[in-house]
Amino acid sequence: MNSVVCVKQVPDTESVIKIKPDGSGIITDDLKFVMNPYDEYGVEEALKLKEKFGGSATILCMGPSRVVETIRTGLAMGVDKAVQLDDPAFEGGDAFATAKALAEALKGLEYDVIFCGKQAVDDDLSQVGQILAELLGLPHVSLIQKLQVADDKKSAVVDRQVEGGIEVLKVLLPAVLTTQKGLNEPRYASLPGIMKAKKKPLDVKDLAALGLNADSVGCNGSKTMITKYTAPPERAAGKIIEGEGPQETAPKLVQLLREEAKVI
Amino acid sequence: MNFDLTEEQKIIRNTVRDFAEKEIRPIAADLDQKEEFSYEIVGKMADLGIMGMPVPEKYGGGGTDYLSYIIAVEELARVDASSAITMCAHISLGTMPIYYYGTEEQKRKWLPKLTSGQMLASFGLTEPDAGSDAGATKTKAILKNDMWVINGSKCFITNAGTKISGLITITAITGKRKDNRNEIGCILLPNETEGYNIGSSYNKMGWHWSDTRGLSFVDCCVPKENLLGEKGHGFRQMLEILDGGRLSVGAMGLGGAQGAYEMALKYAKERFQFGKPLISFQINAFKLSDMLTEIEMARLLLYKAAWLKDNNRPFIREAAMAKLVCSETMGRVVNQALQLHGGYGFMKEYPVERFYRDQKVLDIAEGTSEIQRIVISRTIGC
Ligand SMILES: Cc1cc2nc3c(=O)[nH]c(=O)nc-3n(C[C@H](O)[C@H](O)[C@H](O)COP(=O)(O)OP(=O)(O)OC[C@H]3O[C@@H](n4cnc5c(N)ncnc54)[C@H](O)[C@@H]3O)c2cc1C
């Protein structure tokens, strides 16, 4: 059973995000980067499959040299090897351009399952997994919370979260599965794992190695363009309703909710 | 000069931080209240593989450099001092003497159990009448029929009395030197040795769930080979062990200061008085700036000292400086951090109260602040 986990490095959710003065992006200098939390579920699931069926787990990650730390973290958790896509041409890509490059890299890898996080917590697009499946001509199931691979490894039964309940699906493998919280508890990288991670193979590929041209990936290959970032408006100060006890204040509140906020 | 941590060091920091946040932070206040040793946390630290970090892999250790270990202690102490001291007393004081001075046989026998965290070890130096003056030990070991017969007592010994404590290295008088002063030896004493009595836990101001015991030895017999290294080298060994240990206690001060600072910053942003957050009063903003500055200074000094050790350079003076600065930095930082919390800081609902209590012992254990100053002053001919 071979799995590939597509992993994105994202700013730590605790970081304070600052927008560049010209609105063209965010300031990344002081940011702490981590593995996208939803991708951690994919890593964990790939490791579980490996433990159960044998085979290998591979990380596929696009990004500049700083992403190596995230890749190594996955290797330290127990993933066997990794492919990093690193080329200035990949930069600034939307979900389509990203999926395009990932799909190309996946053509050179062996897999029964491809995991993607259900979304990356930075741009929250929730698209890469689905586009990837389309480009590779594979079935996909999004938002999975449980995975049971058949003994013959030709199909799997997955639970996915839907409004108000659980949907159980059978899917033929290979497939793209996007992972949701609840699927598993990602393990910590163990210290021996951390020490071994450095010796595990990390294959760095650039545009030429994928055999793509610069127009099909990154900014140039994107179908959507980010024109501007703006910070959310500052929250207006709250209003304190003065008065003697609820008898006096409650009617005032109702009046304001009706007339000013227009919510009731 | 390169201030970048290695990839491994960064991953170790992130992993231990994540572990401490998820596994320790939610139960730290409760453990502090209960004052009971946490086998659960020790078990989890063992699973993480950090209980033998700087020991080579062939003895079951992590095979990391010392700085990585220091970073791990720092990250534990950022959340919970008892977790940090349990790990670092086990490693620096309990395990390293065997790794440094044990025979190959002793290493093969003990280290895998210790580095895996199945068994805890401790180091018994302090006695009721031999604290800062550690050479004044009264515990005696007499060689009879190739066995050391040990009599005496120790006090304030970390990790000595848990259900998984398996051995202690103690200092004892093993004879007279040529100049007629006492010769000191470090001797391995397995817990099951007859006549080895472990007292009940102390009631402490801080480090509440860490295990601290008074011990006594009544005709304890251990084989001659249990004397670590060469006869007559015990005093020097003891000083070397303390040098390494000081770095880890320094890491506890650094991590504790970092944790207290973060609490203070968060609180001061959220707490409003006079219609404004506390940070908008310049005195508080400057307090927080001073805290961060002092923490950065302490970190540079501690990492430099660990770097010296990792590069086999002399580091005695820097270890003393780092221990002194880190502990006292945490003292100042946690004092102001609590001050910023006002009355709420005095309440147990806020973890800064625990940090305040946990700090004091850092000025005392592994050589008091005064002793660190003596160590430093000796290197400049005073
Ligand atoms: C919680 C805890 C855990 C500990 N764990 C261990 C352990 O695992 N193993 C172990 O062996 N020990 C351990 N200790 C003991 C610790 O190392 C000693 O408490 C410490 O070395 C100080 O010794 P003392 O308490 O006897 O104080 P004293 O030496 O009596 O010192 C009292 C005061 O006098 C000052 N003083 C002493 N001599 C001088 C001098 N020459 N010049 C100036 N001032 C001086 C001291 O700085 C201090 O302020 C632990 C202590 C505590 C509190």
Are residues A146 and A252 part of one domain? Answer: no
Nearest beta carbon to residue B63 from set A68, A189, A195: A195
- Architecture of B7-120 per CATH? Orthogonal Bundle (1.10)
Helices and strands: H and E segment counts in chain A:
7, 11
Residue A222 within a domain: no
Rg over alpha carbons for chain B, rounded to the nearest Å, is 21
In this structure, the answer to whether residues A247 and A125 fall within a common structural domain is no
Choice among B194, B318, B366, B370 that is catalytic:
B366
| A77 and A131 share one domain | yes
Q: Could you tell me if A247 and A157 lie in one domain?
A: no
> Are both A202 and A259 inside the same structural domain?
no
What pLDDT shows up at residue A83? 98
The alpha-carbon radius of gyration of chain A (Å, integer) is 22
| A203 and A259 part of one domain | no
Q: Each residue of B67-80: pLDDT tens digit?
A: 999 999 999 999 99
User: What share of chain B in percent tops pLDDT 70?
Assistant: 100
Q: Which residues of B touch A77 (CB under 8 A)?
A: none
B134 CA: nearest ligand 1 atom: 21
Contact yes or no for A190 and B47 at CB 8 A? yes
Report yes or no on A228 lying in a domain: no
Same domain for A64 and A99, yes or no, is yes
Question: Which of A30, A194, A202 to mutate against chain B (most B CBs within 10 Å)?
Answer: A194
Partners of residue B5 in chain A, C-beta under 8 Å: none
Alpha helices in chain B (DSSP H): 7-19, 25-34, 39-48, 66-77, 81-88, 96-101, 104-115, 234-270, 282-310, 316-341, 352-359, 369-378
Q: A248 and A179, same structural domain?
A: no
Claim to verify: residue A189 and residue A117 sit in the same structural domain: yes
Query: Which residue range forms the structural domain that includes residue A43?
Result: 3-216
pLDDT of A232 over the 90 cut:
no
Ligand 1 pocket by Cβ (under 6 Å): B 89, 93, 122-126, 131-132, 156-158, 204, 207, 212, 361, 364-368, 370-371
Whether residues A137 and A167 fall in one domain:
yes
- Residue A248 and residue A131 in one domain: no
First-last CA distance in chain B: 32
| Structural domain count of chain A | 2
* Cα separation, A114 vs A57, whole angstroms: 10
Residue A230 lies in a domain: no
Examine residue A74 and state whether it is found in any structural domain, yes or no: yes
Q: What residues of chain B lie within 8 A of the CB of A195, using their CB?
A: 8, 57, 62-64
The H-assigned helical ranges of chain A are 37-53, 67-77, 95-106, 128-136, 191-197, 207-210, 245-259
How many other β-carbons are positioned within 10 Å of the β-carbon of residue B64?
27
Q: What is the pLDDT of residue B151?
A: 98
Q: How many CB atoms lie within 10 A of CB B176?
A: 10
Q: Give the pLDDT of residue B315.
A: 97
Q: Mean pLDDT throughout B219-233? A: 96
Whose CA is closest to B267, among B286, B290, B284? B284
Location of structure tokens 């741009």 = A123
- Residue A264: per-residue pLDDT: 85
pLDDT interval class at A251 (50, 70, 90):
very high
- Largest Cα separation within chain B, whole Å, is 79
What is the model's pLDDT at position B49? 96
Average of per-residue pLDDT across A14-33: 88
Are the beta carbons of A190 and B48 separated by less than 8 Å? Answer: yes
**Residue nearest to ligand 1 atom 16, measured at CA:** B365
Confidence of residue B10 (pLDDT cuts 50, 70, 90): very high
Q: What is the pLDDT of residue B72?
A: 98
Segment holding A164, helix H or strand E: none
Confidence of residue A15 (pLDDT cuts 50, 70, 90): confident
pLDDT (tens digit, 9 = 90+) per residue, B132-142?
Answer: 999 999 999 99
**Most distant CA pair in chain A: distance in Å?**
75
Per the domain annotation, does A150 fall within a domain?
yes
Residue nearest to atom 17 of ligand 1 (CA): B365
The CA B129 to ligand 1 mean position distance, Å, reads 10
Mutate to test the interface with A, among B5, B9, B11 (most CBs of A within 10 A): B11
List the CATH number of the domain containing A196.
3.40.50.620
Which residues of chain B have a Cβ shorter than 8 Å from any chain A Cβ? 7-8, 10-12, 14-15, 18-19, 47-50, 53, 57, 62-64
* β-strands A140-149, B140-144 pairing: unpaired
Q: Considering only CB atoms, which chain A residues are within 8 Å of B8?
A: 194-195, 197-198
Question: Which H, E and C letters describe A138-160, residue by residue?
Answer: CCEEEEEEEEEECCCCCEEEEEE
Residue B210 pLDDT greater than 90, yes or no: yes
ipTM of the complex: 0.86
Least confident of A73-87, A137-151, A224-238: A224-238
* Cβ within 8 Å, pair A189-B62: no
Q: Rounded to two decimals, what is the model's pTM?
A: 0.91
Domain ranges of chain B: 7-120, 121-232, 236-378
**Is B366 marked active-site?**
yes
Average pLDDT, integer, range B283-293: 98
Instruction: Tell me the average pLDDT of chain B.
Output: 97
pLDDT tens digit sequence for A84-105 = 999 999 999 999 999 999 999 9
Give the pLDDT band of residue A16 (cuts 50, 70, 90): confident
Any idea which residue has 């001919």 for tokens? B381
From the alpha carbon of B207, which atom of ligand 1 is closest?
A: 1
Find the range with the poorest average confidence among A90-94, A125-129, A237-241, B11-15: A237-241
* pLDDT interval class at A234 (50, 70, 90): confident
- A76 and B11 Cβ atoms separated by less than 8 Å: yes
| Ligand 1 centroid from CA B365, angstroms | 6
Average pLDDT score over residue span B171-197 = 96
Q: Is A40 among the domain residues?
A: yes
Q: What is the pLDDT of residue A29?
A: 83
Those residues whose C-beta lies under 8 Å from the C-beta of residue B299, and which sit 6 or more positions away, are B254
> Measured between alpha carbons, how far is A190 from B45 in angstroms, rounded to an integer?
10
Token pair of B90 as six digits:
């086990």
Is residue A150 pLDDT above 90, yes or no?
A: yes
What is the helix (H) or strand (E) element at residue B188, kind and residue range? strand B182-190
Residue B120 forms beta bridges with which residues? B165
The pLDDT of A239-264, averaged and rounded, is 90
- Ligand 1 centre distance from Cα of residue A173 (Å): 66
The answer to whether position A75 is within a domain reads: yes
Write phi, then psi, for B288 (nearest 5 degrees): -65, -40
Q: Does some domain include residue A192? A: yes
Q: How are beta strands A57-62 and A3-7 bridged, if at all?
A: parallel
Fold of B121-232: Butyryl-CoA Dehydrogenase, subunit A; domain 2 (2.40.110)
How far is Cα B121 from Cα A93, in angstroms, rounded to an integer? 54
Same domain, A203 and A251: no
Here the tokens at position A217 are: 């990936």
Nearest to A194 among B11, B19, B57 (CB): B11
In this structure, what token pair is assigned to residue A44? Answer: 């964990």
CB A191 to CB B14 under 8 A? no
- Lowest mean pLDDT of A70-84, A108-122, A242-256, B115-129, name the range: A242-256
Chain B residues in contact with A192 (beta carbon < 8 A): 49, 57, 62
Q: Residues of A43-74 as b/e, b for ≥16 C-beta within 10 angstroms? A: bbbbbbbbeeeebbbbbbbbbeeebbbbbbbb
Nearest CA to ligand 1 atom 37: B132
Residue identified by tokens 């990344």 is A28
CATH class, range B236-378: mainly alpha
